[in-house]
Amino acid sequence: MELQQLRYALAVAEERNFTRAATKTHVVQSALSHQIKALERELGVRLFARTSRRVELTTAGHAFVAGARATLDAADRTVTEAVAATGQMRGSLSVGAIPTVTRLDLTAVLGRFHRTYPQVSIGMSVGGSLDFIERIRTGSLDAAVLGLPEDVEPKGVASTVIAQERLVAVLGPGHRFAERRRLRLADLADEAFVDFPSDSPGRSQSDRAFAEAGLTRTVAFESMLVDMMLDLVGQGLCIALLAPAVVPDGRELATVPVTDGPKRAEYLAWSEFNPSPAASAFVESALASLGAEQG
């Protein structure tokens, strides 16, 4: 059994289609089909149930694919670590970021990483903290910047707090509270809000703060895009509770401290189980950049 055969089998399992799997692995379909049949003969089991229109994993196929993926991951890790031992770095780095990163200049860190390790392929995605934690646990993501309520720590991953801050009220021009020096949650309870989706940590920190104050509020708009949130506030449709650093100058928006408002913690998280050399180098670079700023 060859590693390339495992890669072909994984491609078919992921694509559920021999034509797309052949394109993905840069081989003609007839050659891929031949390799899959040879693999099945060697194993003595059928991995895929297929017709001219449909391809599905068999029970044996499901078991095989899980082991094949682990084998290929281990093989790739072995090559990467061997090359890293020579002072070089190859492989890939995948990083996640919440929409409201405020403490870490992530693009600058990735830029320096790329210049230091040009042979490492870098990818970045923007999304939610809970999804990123799960992806780090399962090995599909190397590291992420997370935002969580101040009393919630990410579980199952290695992490360090890089910022703690209280959210501010973001108000449109001409809002009745725009000139206030400070506010309380009770002042805002009757306002319409824009916030993150209801199942996200970015939303829960504000929901919990209102609940603990014995107050209810109306979230009329939901978005994962901070720019859209600010545009909605600017149109006078709603207000928001956001980290002050995500509100740029020049937007004609007021930011007012909320004395009993929600607090959040920003984390840098990575795998606590055998991180790749690229992931370890990225985390070291990110933490070093924070130390340099503090210095």
Read off the tokens for 243: 């980290």
| Across 241-269, average pLDDT | 93
| Across 134-143, average pLDDT | 91
150 has pLDDT over 80: yes
Q: What is the pLDDT of residue 295?
A: 40
Cα dihedral 42/47/50/55 (nearest 10): -140
169 has pLDDT over 60: yes
| Across 270-290, average pLDDT | 89
Q: What is the Cα 44 distance to its own chain's centre? A: 40
Geometric angle at alpha carbon 158, from 156 and 164, rounded to 5°? 105
Note the pTM of the prediction, 2 decimals. Answer: 0.67
| Across 254-266, average pLDDT | 95
Partners of 165 in beta bridges? 264
| Across 193-204, average pLDDT | 92
3-state secondary structure string across the chain: CCHHHHHHHHHHHHHCCHHHHHHHCCCCHHHHHHHHHHHHHHHCCCCEEECCCCEEECHHHHHHHHHHHHHHHHHHHHHHHHHHCCCCCCEEEEEEECCCCCCCCHHHHHHHHHHHCCCEEEEEEECCHHHHHHHHHHCCCCEEEEEEECCCCCCCCEEEEEEEEECEEEECCCCCCCCCCCECHHHHCCCEEEECCCCCHHHHHHHHHHHHCCCCCEEEEECCCHHHHHHHHHCCCCEEEECHHHCCCCCCCEEEEECCCCEEEEEEEECCCCCCHHHHHHHHHHHHHHHHHHC
In tens, the pLDDT along 85-137 reads 555 677 889 999 999 898 899 999 999 999 988 989 999 999 999 999 999 99
Indicate the range of 58-67, 165-174, 236-245, 256-265 predicted with least confidence: 58-67
236 has pLDDT over 90: yes
Indicate the range of 162-166, 189-193, 210-214, 248-252 predicted with least confidence: 248-252
| Across 1-13, average pLDDT | 78
Burial of 30 (0-12, 13-18, 19+ CB in 10 A): exposed
290 has pLDDT over 80: yes
84 has pLDDT over 60: no
Q: What is the pLDDT of residue 4?
A: 78
Whether 271 and 135 have beta carbons less than 8 Å apart is answered as no
